[in-house]
């Protein structure tokens, strides 16, 4: 029983891995930039390392965020043309397109590993913090591989397990949430 | 040759439903391979595309906009505009447009503006006898002001893609924003007069206005902090966005005491996936754009256009129609990243200022928000107003016409965009 709980917990953890990492990175660089603004305006003292550090966090955030968006199925596609065909046409074409996406990610992974190998051979360091740049570049093989895993995962969820993926762009389903967020009293009268 | 590989691969991938970023990236990768160039360049481009301080304004503005919703700032700003509804015909709809302007000055997103303003104003208008469809149409149409009036997320993306000053764009967007707003207000006045949307002055009092303004003081200060900071040169746009995040947190937690931990987490979450999917398009669009420039494809397009006509006004008209059509089918930020590397060199070779072009481009995208099939504002307004998308888009047509007319005015009179930045000394 305990084992099952550990399993569900770790699956939950893995499923939200990029999302949570991104939230930490985002909070980190936003706070760091704020400290930097305070230092510059109040103490007339610009920090060189903080700018670089926040940029590195941002680059990781950006590509991990892309992987998170892939998990949510949030990457924008042009799909109105599929309305004129039976569902199977759109679905199979999109699966094919996702395979091409995986090819793209794989090539990016291989090429970024080559880049990193070159950087290990001829090391160069970041100007302010003196970090070996190949550590920063590690993000590419990691995030492009993660993205591939997420593409496979969402396709399995959609077509094998027949789960409906929520359309994250469809705010209309979240109107009640936003109302609660903005503390707006419910509208009287007419319902739907 | 290279252009057929680029555009061919891009077009095919787009049609089979690949994400826009994959269509751009794979097209660029194929093109690199077809000319025997090392694809490792793309890793460099990927890193350089996001390793930049100005780009960080994007997640920062998205986050601050999301936080304002939960902190009580959004609601109070709209409430102030609502009490200002005067004795004019269609007064409350005018307030809606003004609310969108206020809101545009703190948020850089069109759908977010529509959601926040519509949530309060559509029910208020319906209560006072406005037609549901009309109330939703006014809101959906003026919601786009969020991206024309600075700060603006699409302008950040344009500035980054075109390597133009984001601050200058933020100044240039002010007059076009006011122009559109006045146009919508005028059109609303005419329609309301015809339909007899009379104001009910009975519940309007100066005291009520004063109370609302007092309650909303800290909310009204938000645009002052953001835009004042940027225009005075005290903050860069990125810094201003960061400061506005902390201003919102401070006001939401300590002054209005409305901000819940749950909304903070939700804001962080939506900022993550929204930024993630945009920033990766930034990378692939740059790879695509670099090939275009290297092979002088924009020059070829310019030459082809010029062989067709030398009249700048006609070329502007063609470009605007093209942009509005693209905006109808594609997501705003992707549109900007895609068309900028192709069309900007064409327009500059005709002597158009990049800032001027950027503002026109953003205005065209704004129209896309309220036109089907992909009008984000329409979906939101339809959800809030509980009316069909068809009805709203039909009733939004007069406003769309006003907005298209404004785009042409701004395109044909460069001073509308360029005069204010010059005055500010940029």
Q: Is A190 on the interface with B (CB under 8 A)?
A: yes
Whole-number pLDDT of residue A23? 95
Other beta carbons within 10 angstroms of residue B310's beta carbon come to 10
Output the six-digit token pair for B112.
């977010």
Share of chain A above pLDDT 90, in %: 44
Q: How far is B370 from chain A (nearest CA, A)?
A: 15
Judged by CB atoms closer than 8 Å, whether chains meet at B115 and A175 is answered as yes
For residue B201, what pLDDT is reported? 56
CA A183 – CA A181 distance, rounded (Å):
5
Residue B44 and residue A93: Cβ atoms within 8 Å?
no
Using an 8 Å CB-CB cutoff, list chain A residues near B44: 115
Give the DSSP letter of residue A165. Answer: P
Has residue A105 got a pLDDT over 50?
Answer: yes
User: Average pLDDT over chain A, rounded to whole?
Assistant: 87
Per-residue pLDDT tens digits for B287-304: 998 888 888 888 888 888
Contact residues on chain B for A47, CB-CB shorter than 8 A? none
Q: Decide if B380 and A183 are in contact by the 8 Å CB cutoff.
A: no
Per-residue pLDDT at A192 exceeds 50: no
Is pLDDT of A27 > 90?
A: yes
Q: Which two tokens stand for residue B153?
A: 């997320």
Percent of chain B with pLDDT over 70: 98
Contact A182 B75 (CB under 8 A): yes
Going by pLDDT thresholds of 50, 70 and 90, the confidence category of residue A128 is confident
For A102-114, b where at least 16 C-beta lie within 10 A, e where not — what string?
Answer: bebbebbbebbee
Residue linked to tokens 């460099």 = B44
Q: A-chain residues within 8 Å CB-CB of B26? A: 100-101, 103-104
- pLDDT < 50 regions, chain B: none
Higher pLDDT, residue A48 or B409: B409
Contact A65 B331 (CB under 8 A): no
pLDDT class for A172, splitting at 50, 70, 90? low
**ipTM rounded to 2 decimals:** 0.89
The answer, yes or no, to whether residue A189 has pLDDT greater than 50, is no
Q: Which residue has the tokens 């590690």?
A: A138
Best B9, B19, B26 residue to mutate vs chain A (most A CBs within 10 Å): B19
Is B255 in contact with B214 (CB distance < 8 Å)?
no
Q: Is-contact B124 B197, C-beta < 8 A? A: no
For the entire predicted model, the pTM comes to: 0.90
Rg, C-alpha atoms of chain B: 22
> Using an 8 Å Cβ cutoff, are B199 and B89 in contact?
yes
pLDDT bracket for residue A173 (50, 70, 90): low
Dist CA A128 CA A137 (whole Å): 17
Question: Which chain B residues touch A75 with a CB distance below 8 Å?
Answer: 19-22, 277, 280
The reply to whether A41 touches chain B by the CB within 8 Å rule is yes
pLDDT at A115 over 70: yes
For the segment B76-110, what is each residue's pLDDT rounded down to a tens digit?
A: 888 888 887 766 778 889 989 999 988 888 877 78
């Amino acid at each position: 029983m305990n084992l099952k709980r550990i399993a569900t917990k770790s699956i939950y953890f893995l499923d939200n891995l990029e999302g949570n990492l991104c939230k930490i990175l985002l909070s980190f660089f936003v706070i760091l930039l704020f400290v930097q603004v305070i230092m510059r305006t109040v103490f007339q003292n610009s920090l060189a390392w903080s700018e670089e550090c926040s940029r590195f966090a941002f680059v990781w955030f950006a590509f991990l965020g892309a992987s998170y968006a892939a998990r949510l199925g949030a990457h924008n596609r042009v799909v109105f043309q599929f309305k004129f065909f039976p569902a199977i046409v759109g679905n199979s074409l999109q699966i094919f397109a996702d395979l091409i996406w995986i090819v793209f990610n794989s090539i990016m992974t291989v090429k970024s590993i080559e880049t990193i190998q070159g950087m290990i051979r001829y090391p160069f360091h970041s100007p302010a913090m003196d970090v070996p740049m190949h550590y920063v570049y590690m993000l590419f093989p990691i995030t492009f591989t993660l993205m591939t895993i997420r593409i496979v995962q969402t396709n399995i969820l959609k077509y094998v397990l027949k789960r409906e993926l929520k359309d994250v762009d469809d705010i209309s389903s979240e109107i009640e949430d936003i109302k609660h967020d903005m503390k707006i009293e419910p509208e009287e009268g007419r319902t739907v | 040759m290279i252009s057929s590989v680029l555009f061919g691969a891009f077009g095919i991938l787009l049609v089979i439903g690949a994400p826009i970023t994959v269509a751009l990236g794979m097209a660029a990768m194929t093109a690199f391979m077809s000319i025997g160039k090392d694809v490792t360049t793309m890793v460099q481009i990927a890193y350089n595309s996001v390793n930049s301080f100005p780009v960080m304004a994007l997640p920062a503005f998205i986050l601050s906009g999301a936080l304002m919703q939960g902190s009580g700032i959004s609601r109070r700003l709209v409430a102030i505009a609502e009490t200002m509804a005067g004795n004019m015909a269609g007064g409350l709809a005018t307030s809606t447009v003004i609310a969108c302007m206020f809101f545009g000055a703190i948020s850089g997103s069109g759908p977010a503006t529509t959601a926040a303003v519509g949530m309060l104003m559509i029910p208020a208008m319906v209560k006072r006898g406005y037609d549901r469809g009309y109330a939703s149409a006014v809101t959906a149409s003026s919601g786009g002001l969020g991206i024309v009036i600075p700060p603006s997320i699409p302008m950040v993306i344009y500035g980054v893609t075109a390597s133009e000053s984001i601050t200058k764009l933020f100044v240039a967007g002010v007059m076009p924003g006011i122009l559109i707003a006045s146009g919508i207000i005028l059109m609303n006045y005419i329609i309301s007069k015809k339909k007899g949307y009379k104001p009910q002055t009975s519940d309007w009092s100066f005291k009520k206005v004063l109370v609302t303004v007092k309650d909303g003081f800290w909310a009204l200060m938000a645009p002052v902090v953001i835009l004042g900071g940027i225009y005075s040169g005290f903050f860069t746009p990125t810094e201003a966005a960061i400061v506005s995040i902390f201003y919102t947190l401070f006001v939401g937690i300590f002054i209005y005491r409305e901000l819940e931990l749950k909304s903070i987490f939700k804001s962080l979450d939506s900022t993550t996936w929204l930024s993630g999917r945009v920033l990766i398009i930034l990378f692939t669009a740059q790879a695509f754009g670099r090939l275009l420039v290297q092979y002088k494809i924009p020059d070829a397009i310019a030459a082809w256009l010029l062989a067709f006509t030398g009249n700048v006004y006609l070329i502007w008209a063609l470009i605007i129609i093209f942009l509005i059509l693209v905006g109808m089918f594609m997501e705003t930020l992707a549109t900007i990243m895609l068309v900028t590397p192709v069309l900007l060199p064409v327009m500059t070779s005709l002597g158009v200022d990049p800032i001027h072009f950027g503002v026109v481009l953003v205005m065209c995208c704004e129209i896309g928000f309220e036109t089907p099939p992909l009008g984000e504002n329409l979906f939101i307004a339809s959800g809030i107003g509980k009316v069909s998308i068809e009805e709203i888009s039909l009733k939004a047509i007069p406003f769309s016409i006003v907005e298209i007319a404004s785009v042409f005015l701004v395109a044909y009179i460069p001073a509308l965009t360029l005069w204010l930045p010059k005055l500010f000394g940029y």
